[in-house]
Structure 1
Amino acid sequence: MKKLISAFIVTLLMAGTVSAETIKWEGREFYAKNVHASIVKLNGEEVLKVERNLKVFPFDINRLSETVDEPTYVKLKDFEFSDGIFEVKVLARVQQPTPFPASQGFIGIHYRVNADDSAFESIYLRPNVGRADNQASRNHAVQYFAYPGYKFDRLRKESNGLYETYADIGLDEWITMRIHVKGERAELYLNNAKYPSFIVNKMKGTSASGGIGLFVDIGTEGYFKDFKIISSMHPKLKGGA
């Protein structure tokens, strides 16, 4: 009997570990996928803080490609779109102490996230290299990838420079990300720029529609505010949202 009770308790603990927590923020509800999420005060205003949960989803520097560019985000509940425009302000810091010395403050947005989090598109930032003292590093400040088949390392190897670019961004500063998604094309506008800072002419994802997730990766202390869905077209409603 004691063994059965112990096994039951262990099962409950494991279930609690893998279950997704939910959080309400800016009038919307999100669920946390492989991250810790909380509402905190930053410089006097309430913002959403997100950090990767290493207990649920460990990082392995010897298996870098398999343990980065993954579903580590808070995902907006009960929302699905195919094409649209959305915006959020992001601020990144490198965690101290950091679990990954090469962390660049990885923060951004996953979109067209399918129902089981197994496929999506993403554009994220590496603010720590935006003002590096060499151009090669600066050219990695913005990154696109498609999960699961086209992570940053494959795209860099097969299409060097096509799916990442330079941007004048830095750590510990608010950066506005506005993403326009239409068909196979995505455009990123930074800090209310009139013209896109980054264009993905042909996305590589397998998910034609889905949700939106606010993403951080290894070694990042990420903050979000002013999340807006400016327009969206539901895949089943041709007239839009």
Structure 2
Amino acid sequence: MLITSPAIAQKKTSPDLATLAQDPKIVVVNRSATALSEGPQKGVRLDQRPGEGLLWLPDVTFTNGSIEFDVRGKDVLQQSFVGIAFHGQNDSTYEAVYFRPFNFRSEDPVRRIHAVQYISHPTYSWQKLRTEFPNKYEAAVAPAPDPNGWFHVRIEVTGSNVRAFVNQSTTAALEVEPIQKRPGNRIGLWVGNASGGDFANLTITPVP
């Protein structure tokens, strides 16, 4: 678990995702963003389109620390890729951790170990990482969440590793060393090809 000393931790940022869709300063790439209100979940929905999509958060920068959010995809093969992009330099250069909910509870053991993925675009796509470093930058999620339901994610980023925790697990579902250093500090919501996604309760806690 990432330990943040009160003496050095910077102020938490909790963007209001429910009003973000109307913020004129947001940058949405290859998607449309709409407000989402569903019971206790107040957030934003990115629609489904070919290609990858991003919603860059305005007035928020991030280098190291933790990122927490609730997210929902769906149990439809190859149509649900949801996660967070960070260390962004531009719309095509960033790192990301994302999930494939349709693989969470697959009966195919190979698909199950492809449930959570790290990428570093544009050089290291999931295809390149899977080919050159099989099973190193993706993993299963256990216990597996409901592939059609909301689940909670905590991403911890330091200079030497990236760890992803799901729901209340104290064991990282994925832990990797960044494959290359990215100097960017933009952060955004991310969805993959042919995918939309729902996001809520985002909290960003940077550390120096």
TM norm. shorter chain > 0.5: yes
Task: Indicate which of 30, 34, 39 corresponds to 1:38.
Answer: 34
Q: Deviations over 1:39-83 (max 9, x none)?
A: 02334643211124x4xxxx4xxxxxxx5xx4x111111222221
- Structure 1 range deviating more: 25-34 or 203-212: 25-34
- Structure 1 range deviating more: 35-44 or 173-182: 35-44
Report the AA paired with residue 38 of structure 2.
L
Report the AA paired with residue 88 of structure 2.
V
Distance 1:27 1:46, change over 3 A: closer
TM-score normalized by the length of structure 2: 0.81
Q: Distance in 2 between matches of 1:170 and 1:219?
A: 20
Task: Indicate which of 151, 154, 158 corresponds to 1:175.
Answer: 151
In the TM superposition, 1:119-198 aligns within 5 A as 119-167=93-141, 168-198=144-174
In the TM superposition, 1:1-241 aligns within 5 A as 25-26=17-18, 29=23, 30-43=26-39, 45-52=41-48, 54=49, 59=50, 67=51, 70=52, 72-93=53-74, 102-114=77-89, 116-167=90-141, 168-200=144-176, 202-229=177-204, 231-233=205-207, 240=208
Larger Rg, first or second structure (1 or 2): 1
Q: Deviations over 1:165-193 (max 9, x none)?
A: 01113322111110110003101011021
TM-score normalized by the length of structure 1: 0.71
The residue matched to 1:74 in structure 2 has which SS?
strand
1:146, distance to aligned residue in structure 2 (A): 0.5
Q: Is the 8 A contact 2:70 2:151 kept in 1?
A: yes
Kindly indicate whether structure 1 or structure 2 has the higher relative contact order, using CA contacts under 8 Å at least 6 residues apart. Answer: 2
1:206, distance to aligned residue in structure 2 (A): 4.3
Q: Distance in 2 between matches of 1:117 and 1:84?
A: 22
Q: Is the 8 A contact 2:18 2:37 kept in 1?
A: no
Q: Distance in 2 between matches of 1:73 and 1:214?
A: 6
1:24, distance to aligned residue in structure 2 (A): 6.6
Q: Is the 8 A contact 1:129 1:170 kept in 2?
A: no
Distance 1:132 1:76, change over 3 A: same
Where structure 1 has 5 or more consecutive residues not aligned to the other structure, the ranges are 1-22, 60-66, 95-100, 234-239
Q: Distance in 2 between matches of 1:170 and 1:156?
A: 25
